[in-house]
Structure 1
Amino acid sequence: MNAVGPRRQSAGRLHRTSLRKTGLDYAVTWSVIGLFLIFALIALHLASFILIPLTLAVVTGLILGLAADKLGTLGMPPMLNALLLTSAFAVIALMVGSAVMEPVQNLLGDAPDMIDGALDYIMPRVEHVSWLHRPLQALIHGPISSETMLENTGTIISTLATGVTPALLQILIFLGSLVLFLANRLAIRRALIIGFQDRERRLIAIRAYNAVERALGFYFATALVLYAAFGTVAAIIAMLGGLGSPVLWGLSAFLLSFIPFLGIALVTLAMSISGLLVHDGVLLGLLPAAAFFLVNGIFENLVLPAVMGRRLQMNAFMLFVAIVFWTWLWGGVGAMLAVPLSLIVVTLASELLPKGKAKPSLPQ
């Protein structure tokens, strides 16, 4: 009997020793996680043709979820509800596209003259910089000159036509996915909730799903109104600054405002270049871009936080990283999806993570 106790203690120590992980075990674990993430990124990139319209349809369906609920309370069948919302979304997109098309066509028609004017403006100012002579000469006589653009118009059009067919397929996938998601969103929601076994987890899932729909719907409904007002201000700045095509500037500012940081930077840069080409003086040329940047700073730092509130505020650095990541992975559509995907992650984290306050360990 006395020998049994030591043997049990020895066996317990051996069991604990066998369960103790070494540095090599941790290295293997993190290596497996790293390989999984790498293969996941590869899969997301390779399947981007399908995943981009599907993800965009799901996000759009979640944004339109509140509107679908409102129409559902009126007794409208789910499929008719989905067709109505999808048709309204497509009509609005076509209206925006048609509004942009005419100024873009005018801009493309004036592109050779604009390039020549830009080169005439730049060349006298950089003649003293010796290392810029060769790149600028290549730009003038190379493939981006106005004469070469006119000569290669057929090649450019054929290249654009080659990309039209995949884009049309993706649009059809998006519209079909959006209709089916809106028509079956309640069934999808029910299946996700039933997937959890106990009642407490089902309640958490219900709260999280509803919170995501509310956050997306409120954010984009509010942003739609605010960014429309901001686009109107940008159009007025472009008109007063003599940049031309105020409708194009306003729509560009409105659409690109949904891509924080990068979108506004592109509009500001474009206004700077256009102002320098239109006006002779540097200060006068940069004045429209400076006014636009100032209005954007007031809008982003005062108006938007006051309307949105702290509940929907996201970390600026993490949002910038998300925009860069999704732009690198999925291009322009990924940049547009970065904000809603980040908002979904933030909302789920606020709903699922423990609410208890952390108690810091203060030094004695």
Structure 2
Amino acid sequence: MRILPAERPLPGAGASSPLPDSSSEQPPVIRRAEVVAFALVALLVICIVAVLYFAKAFFLPVVMAFVIGTMLSPAASFLERYRIPRAIGAVLTVAAVGAAASFLVGLISSPLVEWSTRLPELGARLKDKLHALDPLLSLWQDLQNLVGGHDALASLQIPKFDWVQPTIEFLSPTFTEFLLFFATLILFIASWRDLRRTLILTFTNHDARLRVLRILNEIEVHLGGYLLTVTVINTGVAIATGIVCAIVGMPNPAGLGAVAGTLNFIPIIGPVVTFAILVGVGIIALPTLSAGLIAPLAFVGIAFMEGHFITPTIIGRRLSLNALAVFLALAFWTWLWGPMGAFLSSPLLIVGLIVKEHLAPINSPQLPAD
């Protein structure tokens, strides 16, 4: 009878050592269904962006009307409390906003028309003023001479008018877009309650209806408060800038203040453009270069106080906006829809944050920490 040799124990294994578990924790594996779902969502987003870009003539006025209509809806509700029909209140609200916008356009356009007839004279004056920067530009001019260049100020030419028509076409919408915007705005404000009710009743689940109601109420409150607060703040910026321009001796201080207040509705880009305008007007209109820089530097102080203390203190209590998110939203909507997209970037970001807070609240299950 053959005796089998005893099995040798594994090195380091005792009598009480547990057997290795075959179902030990493994790294998560991305399944094919998840990849397909991610790819479909990405394609859907790309298609939506492409439609919004190529159908800008339709979607921009409609989205603008929806956003501004949501902001102005509390005004129509206020008039409705005094027994004014909502349709008439919508017309009165839009007419008041249109009159205010027309007044601002008048303040801004009058100096532009006047200065456009004096472009050669203003260009020659600007060239003379820039010669005061020769000591600061000496190093740059020496470098130009080394590479065979010439005087930069001597080559300063009056810009041609080829850029005027494309710029006007880019900044100003067509008559059809204006008509679509105002018609949609009036009808949206007049029928906002019916639209809310229809949207809420679309869902059959009670919790879903309650969630949609809360989202709509919060959007209306935040957008209305945002418009009112930002309008008051920008009016203060316009008044302060106009006073500074009047003290310094800038031409048409009311128009320059209106420009500062209007452009301040566009975050980041607006103050930069206002500063450039004040620098150009100050250098051309005032006798010395140092005098021409007083108003722009004062505006930098005003914009700094407004952007870092006043606006965050007031708006930040209601809905905090991350600086990176504001910048990315501004860049995206400006690329997509131009200046009007830049104006809509912050309201649309607020709407997105509100929807995100209700659909994915903070107290929901979170991923484990790293």
Which category of TM-score, normalised to the shorter sequence, fits these structures? 0.7 to 0.9
Cα distance, 1:215 vs structure 2: 0.4
Closer, same or farther: CA 236–87 of 1 in aligned 2, 3 Å: same
Alignment match of 1:171 (pick from 159, 167, 178): 178
Residue 123 (structure 2) aligns with = 115
Greater shift, 64-73 or 306-315, is seen at 306-315
Residue 247 (structure 1) aligns with = 254
Residue 9 (structure 2) aligns with = none
Residue 14 (structure 2) aligns with = none
Q: Is the 8 A contact 1:227 1:257 kept in 2?
A: yes
Cα distance, 1:257 vs structure 2: 1.0
C-alpha distance in structure 2 between counterparts of 1:89 and 1:72, whole Å? 18
Alignment match of 1:218 (pick from 213, 225, 235): 225
Cα distance, 1:293 vs structure 2: 0.8
Alignment match of 2:201 (pick from 194, 201, 204): 194
What does residue range 61-140 of structure 1 map to in structure 2 within 5 Å? Answer: 61-122=69-130, 125=134, 127-130=141-144, 133=150, 140=157
TM-score, with length taken from structure 1: 0.81
C-alpha distance in structure 2 between counterparts of 1:290 and 1:163, whole Å? 30
Q: Is the 8 A contact 1:219 1:312 kept in 2?
A: no
For the pair shown, the structure with the greater C-alpha radius of gyration is 2
Amino acid at match of 1:306: T
C-alpha distance in structure 1 between counterparts of 2:81 and 2:310, whole Å? 33
Q: Is the 8 A contact 1:219 1:308 kept in 2?
A: yes
C-alpha distance in structure 2 between counterparts of 1:73 and 1:215, whole Å? 21
Closer, same or farther: CA 164–64 of 1 in aligned 2, 3 Å: closer
User: What secondary structure is seen at the aligned counterpart in 2 of 1:311?
Assistant: coil
C-alpha distance in structure 1 between counterparts of 2:35 and 2:311, whole Å? 45
User: What secondary structure is seen at the aligned counterpart in 1 of 2:197?
Assistant: helix
Whether 2:37 is the aligned partner of 1:29: answer yes
Greater shift, 298-307 or 279-288, is seen at 279-288
Deviations along 1:217-249, whole A, 9 cap, x unmatched? Answer: 111112111210111101112222333221121
Cα distance, 1:85 vs structure 2: 1.6
C-alpha distance in structure 1 between counterparts of 2:306 and 2:173, whole Å? 37
C-alpha distance in structure 2 between counterparts of 1:39 and 1:359, whole Å? 30
Q: Is the 8 A contact 2:171 2:339 kept in 1?
A: no
Deviations along 1:264-320, whole A, 9 cap, x unmatched? Answer: 111112223333444566554433222111121112222223333422221111011
Deviations along 1:45-83, whole A, 9 cap, x unmatched? Answer: 111001111111111110011111112222322322222
What does residue range 44-55 of structure 1 map to in structure 2 within 5 Å? Answer: 44-55=52-63
C-alpha distance in structure 1 between counterparts of 2:44 and 2:198, whole Å? 27
Q: Is the 8 A contact 1:215 1:347 kept in 2?
A: no
Closer, same or farther: CA 177–310 of 1 in aligned 2, 3 Å: same
Residue 9 (structure 1) aligns with = none
Alignment match of 1:314 (pick from 310, 317, 321): 321
Instruction: Name the Cα RMSD after superposition.
Output: 3.0
Q: Is the 8 A contact 2:70 2:220 kept in 1?
A: yes
Closer, same or farther: CA 25–76 of 1 in aligned 2, 3 Å: same
Cα distance, 1:117 vs structure 2: 2.3
What does residue range 229-268 of structure 1 map to in structure 2 within 5 Å? Answer: 229-268=236-275
Whether 2:210 is the aligned partner of 1:206: answer no
Alignment match of 1:272 (pick from 260, 274, 279): 279
Cα distance, 1:342 vs structure 2: 1.0
User: What secondary structure is seen at the aligned counterpart in 2 of 1:61?
Assistant: helix
Q: Is the 8 A contact 1:78 1:183 kept in 2?
A: yes
Q: Is the 8 A contact 1:103 1:247 kept in 2?
A: no
Greater shift, 279-288 or 130-139, is seen at 130-139
Cα distance, 1:23 vs structure 2: 5.6
Closer, same or farther: CA 361–340 of 1 in aligned 2, 3 Å: closer
Deviations along 1:182-241, whole A, 9 cap, x unmatched? Answer: 111111101110111111111111111011001011111121112101111011122223
Q: Is the 8 A contact 1:208 1:347 kept in 2?
A: yes
User: What secondary structure is seen at the aligned counterpart in 1 of 2:293?
Assistant: helix
C-alpha distance in structure 2 between counterparts of 1:268 and 1:156, whole Å? 21
C-alpha distance in structure 1 between counterparts of 2:116 and 2:208, whole Å? 56
Amino acid at match of 1:218: G
Residue 356 (structure 1) aligns with = 363
Residue 329 (structure 1) aligns with = 336
Closer, same or farther: CA 156–270 of 1 in aligned 2, 3 Å: closer
Q: Is the 8 A contact 1:238 1:288 kept in 2?
A: yes
Amino acid at match of 1:230: V
Residue 48 (structure 2) aligns with = 40
C-alpha distance in structure 2 between counterparts of 1:196 and 1:122, whole Å? 66
C-alpha distance in structure 2 between counterparts of 1:361 and 1:163, whole Å? 48
C-alpha distance in structure 2 between counterparts of 1:122 and 1:24, whole Å? 64
C-alpha distance in structure 2 between counterparts of 1:288 and 1:61, whole Å? 36
User: What secondary structure is seen at the aligned counterpart in 1 of 2:318?
Assistant: helix
User: What secondary structure is seen at the aligned counterpart in 1 of 2:174?
Assistant: helix
Amino acid at match of 1:81: G
C-alpha distance in structure 2 between counterparts of 1:163 and 1:322, whole Å? 20
Structure with a larger share of its residues in helix: 1
Cα distance, 1:106 vs structure 2: 1.6
